[in-house]
Amino acid sequence: MSNSNASEKYLKWLKEELEEGNIDFYEYSLFRNVKEIGKGGFGFIYSAEYDYDEVKVAFKTKEATKEFVSELKHLRAMKFNSYINQFYGITIEPKTEYLMLVLQFADGGNLRQYLQRKWHENVFRISLNEIIKIAKQITLGLYRLHENNIIHCDLHPKNILINDGKFLIADFGLIATSQGAPAYIDPLCHQPQVPQIKRNKKSDVYSLGVIFWELTSGTVPFDNAVNGLVVCIQILQGYRYDIIPGTPPNFAGLYQNCWDIDPQKRPTTKEILEILNKISEEIVAEEFITNDNRDLTPILTRNGTPNLLSVGPSVQILNEPNLKNLKKSSTDDAIELKAQGLILYETNNYEDSLNLLSKSLKINPDDADALKFRGLTYFKQKESI
């Protein structure tokens, strides 16, 4: 099906939904003070005021695609949920004829911005009560998504918005492959050349665990990595962040279980809520967690992976300057091929690892690391037969 035919198909679906009253349509002329406020991975974002009731809203531009229809269905299913960014309907910008989602405007920005504002004089400080409150609201939103069999697929602090002091989940169900923020993606979804591994409820729980850690640290995980591929390799190897001093063991244990490499060991959102409620009940006095280090370094943990390998690039090697020029768009780049081969090695996919390392060596035959790992991979492959 051509792109134009596909677009016509989804526009026809949209027209039918509007005619049946399943989706509300807003005349664009009734909005005023329309301002561009950002650009996301799926379109431009605007703020505006609706004349009839002076409510401030957000617009998000969209094309009539399969993904757009899927998002509309998800948004419609989650209408009127207290912990989900609300969907009001659609409008069309008359000059460009852009489709626009009309959404609840979040007056407090996103969770990343909120945490960054808690740094004062190079010290991050947050109360345990506040951490648990935020964690519960995010988990409640995710619980409702999972209840409706909706997978978020890209849960991270920039997709958690704040309105009237309440934390709301946004931008859910849009992707199910290797796209997204690498530091928050389930390690099992990092594997290249394995497209059948899609995000699921356990993948969302992994992301939630990383967010819980960020609530205690105020820092962005793997922020010093030179590129996203490096983040993927480190996570696959079992690198995770250490507990911030002052974090209660039960909360630290919760997020560590959430980011366990084995999805079956990760709790459900219902179990997470039960644990958070228990922690909340145990708080008898105001407790604060502080962090004075913006440049935290991940450590190799046994919680992160069941089989820690004695080989593979270290954090230091991965952050060497020669990786900074890695060309993500070029499949013929020797460095990228080697890095992808190492990811496959870490996930015991030895045949594909050998293939990529050999391709890398055809481009750069003198790469000692690629030669070493190709030999190790060949040995592991023989050992596994």
Global pTM? 0.78
pLDDT digit string, tens, across residues 121-135: 999 999 999 999 999
What residues form the annotated binding site for ATP? 60
The C-alpha atoms of residue 38 and residue 240 are separated, in whole angstroms, by: 31
DSSP string, 31-73: EEEEEEEEEETTEEEEEEEETTTTEEEEEEEE-SSHHHHHHHH
pLDDT digit string, tens, across residues 305-361: 433 333 344 444 444 444 444 444 343 467 767 777 777 776 677 888 888 888 888
pLDDT digit string, tens, across residues 196-250: 567 899 999 999 999 999 999 999 999 887 777 778 878 877 889 999 999 999 9
What residues form the annotated binding site? 60
Q: What is the three-class DSSP state of 125?
A: strand
DSSP 8-class letter at 110? B
Domains, in order of start, for the chain: 3-104 (3.30.200.20), 111-300 (1.10.510.10), 325-384 (1.25.40)
The C-alpha atoms of residue 33 and residue 173 are separated, in whole angstroms, by: 30
